[in-house]
Amino acid sequence: MTNKIALWIEPKNIVGALGKIAGKIAGFNGNILYIEQFERAGRMWLYVEIETDEPDKQKTAEKFEILITGLKELDVVLSVENVSSFSEIYGKRIIVIGGGALVAAVANGAISEADRHNIRGERISVDTIPVIGEYEIAEAVRGVARLPRAKTVILAGSLMGGEISKAVEEVKKCGITVISLNMAGSVPDHADLVVTDPIQAGVMAVMDVASTAKFTIDKLKSKKRVF
């Protein structure tokens, strides 16, 4: 048991339910790290990750058990389950955006490399979205900064620039690494790394975020940035 916990809660679909749940968590000095609420099959669900500053593992476990019991006693809660966190299941995320064929090629490299690291205990997942259009791609890039656990975005296309380049600079300020295929347009000038081969781009993206690999893009920035 660590000082973090993930809970899968079914609340009643009524006004104030989320407030009562958050209040109960705060009452146990729990800090909400991540929360998501959505509807599925006519029922409301709440996924929440909580941490506590209690350093003792045994006391932490006891504290969380008391919290779960307290949540179950709320009149707005139907069920509470202690689950594995998304970080433990899906881990770090690589996001691939761009034209369908090139997105598929990048994903091929990324998934193949992720498999090598995941079988050794790492957790890396690859998300893709084939999309065209300057505005649409720019919005997709900006959205990466709002995705939990996203580490790197790979732009796969033949021509990208303008608003997309602005979006690249914005997400870089949020700590997102940007890899671009070697393409026409201004995006390669703004990316952290430019790779000609789409499969290699996927491989290098995974190696960069994997704790089981020694390669990092930071080692290349002051040397060779285009491959």
Calculate the CA 56 to chain-centre distance. 29
Closest to 64 (Cα-Cα) out of 103, 37, 18, 25: 25
Per-residue pLDDT of the chain (227 residues; tens, 9 = 90+): 458 899 999 999 999 999 999 999 998 888 999 999 989 888 999 999 999 887 777 888 888 999 999 999 999 999 999 999 999 999 999 999 998 899 999 999 999 999 999 999 999 999 999 999 999 999 999 999 999 999 999 999 999 999 999 999 999 999 999 999 999 999 999 999 999 999 999 999 999 999 887 777 777 765 557 77
Cβ–Cβ under 8 Å, residues 168 and 97: no
HEC sequence for 99-168: CHHHHHHHHHHHHHHHHHHHCCCCCEEEEEEECCCHHHHHHHHHHHCCCCCEEEEEEECCECCCHHHHHH
User: Residues for the chain: how many in total?
Assistant: 227
Complete domains list, the chain, with CATH: 4-87 (3.30.70.260), 90-221 (3.40.50.10550)
Please list, in sequence order, all residues whose beta carbon lies within 8 angstroms of the beta carbon of residue 70, skipping any fewer than 6 positions away: 24, 27, 28
* Single pTM value for the model: 0.88
Going by DSSP bridges, is the β-strand pair 31-40/43-51 parallel, antiparallel, or unpaired?
antiparallel
